[in-house]
Amino acid sequence: MPKRLFVFFLLVAAVLIPVLSAQEKAGKAPSHAKCAHCQKDKFVSAQAKNGAGKLVPLCYECAMLPQCEYCQLPSDTVSGGGDHLCRECAKDCIKEKTEAEKVMKDVRQVLIAKFKMTTKHKIIYELGTRRELNLEADGEHNELGWFDPKTIRNKPQYTIRILTGLPRDVFRAVGAHELAHDWMSEELPHLMDKPEIREGFAEFVAWSFSKAEGNKRMMEYTEGRTDEVYGGGFRKVRTMMGDAKTAAEWKNVLLKEFPLKGKKSGK
Ligand SMILES: [Zn+2]
Ligand SMILES: [Zn+2]
Ligand SMILES: [Zn+2]
């Protein structure tokens, strides 16, 4: 390298290095970092929230990939339920019936421990595809779970079906929502045909459950729902509940708001 050019570079460096380090001191996000998806040191093009709600850097190419259904990370797998999943969410997703049964048993225990909410019902747990779940519902919502009470030969039968391949924490919150339907069908059957209260209450239970588990993403998911029945219902029920903390207290609030008419309770 000619001597003069070398001196020139030295001068440029002398001017630039203090400027760059001053920028770093000012707390600016680094323009280069290890991309959370491809793990390469690259120019940061976007920041994305992972399942735990933490912002992580993404390079341009990875930011362009299809996004995980349950967080903002890029997806490279499709679950059995047909959802795009990122590696983190796919890692512990629930896709086997025996695992689903085990987790649901645990969710039921947490609902008893935290809210004294339970029924004596023997519940059958199944996993279903999105198509199967939507066929049972109105087809308008993207159902993640389904509570299905039936009477077979005069005997009640309870089934809870949940979308296959859900990340574990999402599955748990959906499970709590469906168990809230089971509880309401037993304790307040007259509210089961009020969609806003039925779904609003189930969302409220799922939200309270997620809060107890420190599951921020599912709390935010419920809080962010904009549709009238689920989102509107949730906000209505949450306001209604005030300081009530247990299933018995929730029942009192709902009975005050929606008294049983006459003596017929439907059961
Ligand atoms: Zn990348
Ligand atoms: Zn994800
Ligand atoms: Zn529901």
Residue from 48, 50, 74 nearest 61 by CA? 74
Q: Which two tokens stand for residue 38?
A: 């491809």
Ligand 1 center to 25 CA (angstroms): 26
- What pLDDT, on a 0 to 100 scale, did the predictor assign at position 139? 56
Q: Tell me the CA–centroid distance for residue 93 and ligand 3, in Å.
A: 21
CA of 89 to the centre of ligand 1 (A): 17
Measured in Å, residue 50 CA sits from the centre of ligand 1 at: 14
Q: Which residues surround ligand 3, an ion (CB under 5 A)?
A: 199, 202
C-beta of residue 118 within 8 angstroms of C-beta of residue 183: yes
For the chain (267 residues), the mean pLDDT of every run of 10, in chain order, is: 66 57 52 93 93 92 94 91 91 95 98 97 93 69 85 94 95 98 96 96 98 93 93 97 97 95 54
Q: Which ligand sits closest to the CA of 42?
A: 1
Q: Which helix (H) or strand (E) holds 45?
A: strand 41-49
Q: 226 by DSSP, 3-state: which?
A: coil
Ligand nearest to the CA of 90: 2
Cα 197 from Cα 254, distance rounded (Å): 9
Please tell me the chain's helix, strand, coil percentages from 3-state DSSP, rounded to the nearest 5. Answer: 50, 20, 30
Backbone angles phi, psi at 218, to 5 degrees: -80, -30
CA distance 234 to 212: 17
> Residue 131 has what pLDDT?
81
Which residues lie across from 128 on neighbouring strands?
Answer: 163
User: For residue 69, what are its two tokens?
Assistant: 């259904």
Which residues hold their Cβ within 5 A of ligand 2, which is an ion?
68, 70-71, 73, 86, 89
Nearest of 130, 124, 117, 48 to residue 88 by alpha carbon: 48
Ligand nearest to the CA of 40: 1
* Closest-approaching ligand to the CA atom of 44: 1
Task: Quote the pLDDT of residue 267.
Answer: 47
51 CA to centre of ligand 1 in angstroms: 18
> What is the pLDDT, as a whole number, of residue 27?
52
